[in-house]
Amino acid sequence: MLTDFEKGVLLGLLIGEGHFGGDGKQPQVTIKMHIRHKRIFEWLLERLPSSKLYGPYKHDNRTYYQWMMRGVALRRDLIPVLDSRPWWRIDEHSYERYINMKEKYRLGIEYADE
């Protein structure tokens, strides 16, 4: 179970660096960052062991890792955490992308207490 601090760090990473989407068949949440941030990815894997880390990749003079949660792991382990945070209050744009992903992939729409 994540602490409130850990939920806040996770949410901050997703607001700033996250992508909410999918492959047409299953939803996925992705964070791509330079390899200098490897410790952050390790931290995420420790707290969300059902997530995956891919890379490092090299593309256009960039070297990065890609962290991902998708499918059952996303539905079971990440969606409940994100639904419990009132983050539309601080970043409507990322929240809208999250809600669009949930609607497209028919993930239950729940809202944190207002």
Residue 110 lies in a domain: no
Give the chain's domain count. Answer: 1
Residue 15 lies in a domain: yes
Question: Does 111 have pLDDT greater than 70?
Answer: no
Answer whether 64's CB lies under 8 Å from 56's CB.
yes
Round the average pLDDT of the chain to a whole number and report it: 93
Residue 68 lies in a domain: yes
Q: pTM (2 decimals)? A: 0.88
Segment 47-99, tens digit of pLDDT:
999 999 999 999 999 999 999 999 999 999 999 999 999 999 999 999 999 99
- If one counts every other C-beta atom within 10 angstroms of the C-beta of residue 38, the result is 14
Residue 62 lies in a domain: yes
Question: Does 15 have pLDDT greater than 60?
Answer: yes
Residue 109 CA to residue 40 CA, distance in Å, equals 29
Confidence class for position 113, pLDDT limits 50, 70, 90: very low
Tell me the CATH number at 74.
3.10.28.10
